[in-house]
Amino acid sequence: MMRPDARPLEAHALFRTRDLDEARERVAAIFCPHRLETLGPGARFDARHHHLRGERLSLNYIEYGARTRIEPGELGGFYLVQIPLEGGAEIENGADRYVSDPAKAAVLNPHGVTRMVWEAGTRQVLVQISRQAVEEQMAAQLGEPAVRPVTFTGAFDLGSPAGAAFRRMVLFLVGEADRGAAPIGRGLMARQVEQTLIAGLIEAHAHDQLSALARHRAAPRPRHLRLAESFIEANLDRPISLDDVAEAAGISPRALQMAFREHRGTTPLAFWRDRRLERAHRDLLAGQPGDSVTDIALRWGFSHFGRFSEVYRQRYGLSPRKALRAGRA
C-alpha cells in the first residue's frame, strides 16, 4: 500500500536535490544535455526524478518545485510524452506552440527544437520512447518502411476516448511498478506491453501520417500478398528465393513481383531485406554481452559485411559498430 504522500515510481528514485547543476546532470544522463534554470524571485528549487527502464521505452516521474525553463534543443533519439499530474507547461517543439496541463499532454518530437517552461509545482509522468521503436511500429502499421519520421502535432487531448485510454494505460503501468510488479523490462510480455503502448500513442494522437494509415487500412491486400508477407516474416533468418516466396503465395514469381510493386512499392526480396535489416538494427541497439557486428549480421543473413555496413548506414545514419557501441552504453 502506497503512502498518501508517496510519489509515482518512488521505488525507482534516481535522485532528489536542491542543487540546479546536479539536477541538470542527472536528468541529462537519462534524456539528453539541456539548459535548466529557475524563473522568478524566491523560487524554491526541489527536484526529483524517478526512472523505470524498459527495452524500448522508460517510465519517469519528474518535479522541479520552482518555475523552471528547460531547453534541450533536439531530443535526437527519442520521443517524450509528458503527462502533467499537477500544474502544466508552456511547450515549443518545432513549429508547435501550446500549453499542457492535466487534460492535455505534450508529445515532443525528437527532430524538432524543444523549449519548455514548467510552472511552479508541476508534477509529471513522462514516457520516453525510442525513436526507432516508433518508426518500426509505424512501418508495421503501414506495411512498409516509413519514408520520414513521425511528427506528432499539437497538444495531446487526454479527454478524448483514445487519449483517456492511453493515459489510463500509462498510469496503470506506473501503478503496477509501485506495487512491486515492474511491467516493463525484459521478456516477451514486457515487450508486448511496450508495443501496445507505442501503438496506442500512434492511434490516439494527431500526427502527419494519419492519412497514409487511413489509405493503407482502406486498401485491401490480396490473399497471395498476405501469404507472401507471412512467409517472409517467418523466414527472416533463412536464405529464401523469389521462387520460394511465390510458391508459398501460390502464384508465379512475375505475378508476385507485380503485386509487391502495386501494393508495397518495392520487390519481394527488397521487402525481405528491409525486414532483416530492421531485426539486425534492433539486435545492435540491444547490445547483448558477447555480440559482435559480425554475429548479428550473419544471424540475419548478411554475409557481405561491407555491403551490410553500407546499407545499414544509409538507412539509420550511423555504422553498425557505432550502433552496437551505443546499445552497450
The tens digit of pLDDT for each residue in 221-255 reads: 688 888 898 899 888 888 889 999 999 989 888 88
92-137: pLDDT as tens digits: 999 999 999 999 999 999 999 999 999 999 999 999 999 989 988 8
Q: Whole-number mean pLDDT of the chain? A: 88
- The bridge status of strand 104-108 relative to strand 114-118 is unpaired
Global pTM exceeds 0.85 = no
Cell 520516453 found at? 128
Give the integer Cα–Cα distance in Å for 163 and 168. 9
Mean pLDDT of 289-316: 85
Which residue bears the cell 512498409? 144
Task: HSE, CB side, 13 Å, CA atoms: give it for residue 57.
Answer: 28
Cα within 13 Å of Cα(128), Cβ side: 20
Which of the residue ranges 9-23, 191-205, 221-235 has the most confident prediction, judged by mean pLDDT? 9-23
The 10 Å Cβ neighbour count of residue 100 is 25
Shortest CA distance to 107 belongs to which of 137, 132, 84? 84
Strand-pair partners of 105: 156
CATH superfamily placement of domain 220-328: Homeodomain-like (1.10.10.60)
pLDDT of residue 36: 96
Q: How far apart are the C-alpha atoms of 129 and 197, rounded to whole Å?
A: 10
Q: Where are the domains of the chain?
A: 10-213, 220-328
The DSSP H or E segment spanning 311 is helix 305-316
| Residue 65 pLDDT class (50, 70, 90 cuts) | very high
The answer to whether domain 10-213 has CATH 2.60.120.10 is: yes
